[in-house]
Structure 1
């Protein structure tokens, strides 16, 4: 984005067929039993990143893993609560989306920024006009309830389809550009 010095802010996530990104408690254990698909190219996606913004709830879940897999990226955790023992290259911040991008830019992230989890965070970036790309892996499961991809109510937003591809594991991989 020219106004922020960031090339692309992308919200990439997996979603159930009925539109949920996580269970009510924020967990996404339903993805554990779903077979991966090489055509999704998560390693290529990760290689395209220059920084990450994640919501606090996502951070708390990710930190349960034995290894912090995001050390090579400047990472910002959007939170209003204190965080102790942040991993390498991570910082916590309260602020508007533009301030978060400025923080990452000051730490060397000028290319693609991944919004990693947090429907409320994604909605804030969308409302601020700072979300460029939405990439969805729609998983063929119906959860019935859970957390929505853009948490809460927001204004209508039109998107332009960049691509949609069915995968061998039954998922559909789609990418949309946010219409300006």
Structure 2
């Protein structure tokens, strides 16, 4: 069965974007540093994105994941013709991801956002959480998590820190509910 990994950055106070949806506050990594991004991408072949996250990515320039199969969850059609690797999905995310995990392939990268991540977390469909804590306080914005129905234990797999203060918290989550 394929793994779903939420690989995401958050401010120290738990926001994944500014109130306007911007991620301009994310620091530019030091020259040559990618925080393990290339290694993570080497095992992935699909992405899951909510509509707002998709809009943020597509409006920031050239589509960055052309070699992946990209699933965007939305009840609205795209505003512009999406890249050929992008599919808009209006089905229930939980049912869709359950079926997707059963298909052959590599890691499924849950890019975000929290509106998509929360039901997948509640359903036990996220296998690992790779949380990059950025040493910044935003004070307000789009939260990492929406309301959860119940507490979930996490198993710490590893931590890593960089000289610029970036910290990776890599957790394994409980198996599907």
Does TM, normalized by the shorter one, top 0.5? yes
- Whole-Å separation in 2 of the counterparts to 1:12 and 1:19: 14
- Once residues 95 and 133 of structure 1 are traced to their aligned partners in structure 2, the CA distance between those partners, rounded to angstroms, is 23
CA distance in 2, matches of 1:90, 1:109: 19
Give the structure 1 partner of residue 107 of structure 2: 112
- Superposition pairs for residues 23-172 of structure 1, below 5 Å? 23-33=18-28, 35=30, 38=33, 40-83=35-78, 84-101=80-97, 104=100, 110-172=105-167
Q: Which moved more, 1:112-121 or 1:91-100?
A: 91-100
Q: Distance in 2 between matches of 1:166 and 1:86?
A: 36
Aligned equivalents of 2:34, 2:86: Cα separation in 1: 30
- Does structure 2 conserve the Cα–Cα contact (< 8 Å) formed by 1:10 and 1:115? yes
CA contact (8 A) 1:74 1:104 kept: no
Unaligned runs of 5+ in 1: 2-6
The SS at the match of 2:133 is: strand
Q: 1:39 to 1:174 in 2, by over 3 A?
A: farther
Q: Supply the distance in 2 between the matched residues of 1:154 and 1:23 (Cα, whole angstroms).
A: 25
CA 46–161 in structure 1, closer or farther in 2 if over 3 Å, else same: same
Question: d(CA) in 1 for partners of 2:174 and 2:31?
Answer: 30
**Count of aligned pairs between the two proteins:** 174
After TM superposition, give the deviation of residue 151 of structure 1 in Å. 2.1
Q: TM-score, normalised by structure 1?
A: 0.87
Conservation of the 8 A alpha-carbon contact between 2:13 and 2:139: yes
CA RMSD of aligned residues (A): 2.1
Name which of structure 1's ranges 136-145 and 109-118 shifts more when overlaid on structure 2: 109-118
1:154: Cα distance to partner? 3.5
Cα deviation for residue 149 of structure 1 reads 1.2
